[in-house]
Amino acid sequence: MVRMKFLRYTLVLVMLGFLASCYEVNEEIVINADGSGTYLTKMDMGQLLEMMQSFAGEEELTKEGLDKAIDTTIRMKDMLDGAKDVTPEQKALMANGTMKMQMNIKEKLFKMDLNFPYAGYDNLQRLMAGEGNSGAGLTSVFKEFFGGNKPAVDTTQIIDEAKEPDMQDIASIYDVTVKNGFISKKTNQAKYKALLARPEMEQVKKMSTSGMEIPYTTTIKLPRPVKKSDNDLLKLSDDRKTVTIKYNLLDLLESPDKFAYTLEY
């Protein structure tokens, strides 16, 4: 019972909740001249370990083997082949991706990197819209990682119960357009209002007013210099081929238009 409760709690926090005050995100996008590239999301969730320790205690973490350092890379294809809660389109998008996870409780280290190579601007558009960070896909990966073919946790029930907005929910408030020489993120007001109307968003609002922050950095490396951009928050490198924008994710939920942009290169 304790084991199931612990694994259930861990899965909910890591895969579905993306609990607001417990992580830092760096999104790194590389676009090659032929439209291929890589989409990398780095998440630092060290503070999450403190919550795990508070919930389970040192003795239980040791019993679960989580006192031992973990440094592993998982092929997404291996984890998603049998997943029933991921569409064939999502599987194709994520198939060549990898997830690198590092966890060391003694050092308060918990990092997860999701790396997706892509071919074509349409696939990058889908990744930037949040499909590569979908809660369902990551749940399937961790179901296999923690539980093997017979997981101790019913992830279907977890999906029903974990209602915090995940990265895909937040990304979906923008309409993303990616073409050769053009990137645009514009607020979809209908989706934004629908997200704010969800009851669990009240907790997110409280986090925002209490001064909590979720540092979020997006870096885009382009094959050609930027010709035009319409948001002063976008910082350009000296050669105008690298674009960076930094913000508090909670501010994005308050004023999404502030972080919308169009790039021409």
Q: How far is residue 135 from each of residues 169, 184, 236, measured CA to CA in Å?
A: 9, 24, 32
35 phi-psi bin (left φ>0, alpha ψ -120 to 50, beta other): left
Residue 237 has pLDDT above 90, yes or no: yes
Cα-Cα-Cα-Cα dihedral sign, residues 248, 56, 133, 32: positive
172-191 pLDDT, tens digit each: 899 999 999 999 999 999 99
Per the structure, the complete domain to which residue 57 belongs is given by: 2-264
Which run of H or E residues covers position 56? helix 46-63
Which run of H or E residues covers position 46? helix 46-63
Residue 195 vs residue 168, higher pLDDT: 195
Q: How many helices (H) and strands (E) does the chain have?
A: 11, 12
How many domains does the chain fold into? 1
User: What percent of the chain shows pLDDT beyond 90?
Assistant: 39
Contact 98, 112 (CB under 8 A): no
Tokens of 50: 């403190």
On whether the pTM is more than 0.85, the answer is no
What number of other Cβ atoms are within 10 A of residue 215's Cβ? 13
Q: What are phi and psi of 252, to 5 degrees?
A: -60, -40
61: amino acid identity, one letter? L
Model confidence band, residue 66 (pLDDT cutoffs 50, 70, 90): low
DSSP code string of 91-150: HHHHTT-EEEEEEEGGGTEEEEEEEEEEESHHHHHHHHTTGGG-HHHHHHHHHHHHHTTS
Tokens of 29: 């996008």
